[in-house]
Amino acid sequence: MVVDDGPGIPAFVECFAQGEGFDVIAHAGGYKLLTALRALKPDVVLLDRDLPEVGGLDILRAIRDADPTCHVILMTADPRSIRPSRP
């Protein structure tokens, strides 16, 4: 699943991943996303950090609470919010 409020990243990932045999679901975020995540149970979520309505970090916490095995890649285009990952 690709969660981003803009069309560019989801379209790019969909084009690339479907060519490799993956099913891609794009979602713009918001409160309906939490329902979709529970219903779809994706293996991997590419998640924009800065989303309207519900922020990416809040969504990340909800994903972790619902399914700790789901892999999440948190993305941002804001260079001020980038920091080294924790080991």
Helix (H) or strand (E) holding 59: helix 56-66
- pLDDT at position 87, please? 63
Specify if 51 maps to a domain: yes
pLDDT tens for 25-78 read 888 888 888 888 889 999 999 999 988 888 899 999 999 998 999 999 999 888
What's the predicted TM-score (pTM) here? 0.81
Cross-strand pairs, 47: 3, 74
Tally of domains in the chain: 1
Contact status, residue 46 vs residue 24, Cβ threshold 8 Å? no
Specify if 17 maps to a domain: yes
Specify if 85 maps to a domain: no
Specify if 86 maps to a domain: no
CATH number of domain containing 69 = 3.40.50.2300
Record the tokens describing residue 47, joined without a space: 């998640």
Q: Domain containing 13: what range?
A: 2-78
